[in-house]
Structure 1
Amino acid sequence: MKAELLGGECCVVRGREAISTLHDGRECFGTVKLGERGVDDASVFGEAFPEGSPAREYRVELRLMVEEEIYLATRNRIEVLGLDREAHWASALRRVENFDSKYQVYDHMRSKGYVVKNGIQFGVEYLLYRGSPDDFHAEYCCLVKIGDLSWKRVKTIARLAQDVRKRLVICEVHRGKVFEMIVDDSFQRPPDVIASAKRKFRNQSIAETARKRPKITISSS
């Protein structure tokens, strides 16, 4: 299945069959958009845009998140024209800050059965759905912890998530593994643990096994 990187930034897939395969059903990759002007002889919008509608003057395309295009390419489900695997990965690192860690979290959540979408409107990396966003509300806001993470930011995002009936899950990548901590609005400010008034909070991440795992640390600032 062919994909194209437009302007070195946005990866798109065209054609009714290809778009339907990736976007419809359980996996729900990408976002269907109207692209360039031109005759689209197999509109995925069907009856939504009847004959004579101005929308039919545009081609239909599926626009992929960077994480989605890498996920699909590494599984040989799409081939990005003009880029081999190494060049494609280098392109992703250039386009998305801290992409390595973010992609590991994306892949981890996909492996758990979630549909993973962009969460920028809630101040997080991802929104996690149990099915198509057309049929389900997101269950979780997923924040990827990179570097210091303040209590104030966590509290703010947790409150926002709760207001829209979602839960906040903080993910951190450590030695190639993803660790999770679920936080709600009752999350308390970390206590003083050092006489100099430096505050640090350590909370054991949710473990999928009984083996001890690293802790996600949140500062009190």
Structure 2
Amino acid sequence: MASTKEIKRRIKSVKNTKKITKAMELVAASKMKRAVSSTLASRLYAEYSWEILTSIAKNTEKITHPLFVEREEIKNILLILITSNRGLCGAYNTQIVKKVLSLFQNNADRASSPVEGSKPYPVIDIVTVGKKGDTMMRRIGRNIIANFFELPDNVSLSDIVPISELAINEYNHSHYDKVLVAYTDFVSALSQKPNIKQVIPVSKTSLKELINTLGDDFKNKDEKKEKIIDYLFEGDKDLLIP
């Protein structure tokens, strides 16, 4: 049986641990609040940007730039997987990794049981953003062509330019016929929705699918828009698109 002195020492140890845990909780809550505020603040910008993109995409048949033209045969796909660098974030990483694994499984199942006359199913390579996704993809033996681990908490345009340039260059050089992004959409502090969306090429089909996943606010506003904005391109519009 423990002595009184030993019991007091253990009680003190538990109290100290409680203080440390409380401090960690406050720090985490503060970071979470900033992250949520940043996410919500960017939605208005995303909304208007999406309105412009969808308006332009309605006339994609007039645009011959390769980023707007879908290829007939899809042999290779580049998937950009976005996860965190650390754990202790609930199901954030688990959900999106499961979504990606499901995509791999569906592709493998169709490849193992091909329909007569169907085209061969594509090979999927990975670009990882975040260490957790990179670790999981390496564990299952997927081909990772690049990884990005050093993104700051408050991501700016300059931080993601290397990722977008890599995707565009790989697509333009015909190394890949389609580029997908696997990401987690914030719903609430307790709910995040994993998504996999096509970003290159930009097509009417992919835009429509993405609009259908953006929530009722985006859908309703898109449905209410009866007026189609006609954009004027000064110069060759194919050259204006990088």
TM-score by length of 1: 0.27
Larger Rg: 1 or 2?
A: 2
- By percentage of residues, which structure has more strand? 1
TM-score by length of 2: 0.25
- By percentage of residues, which structure has more helix? 2
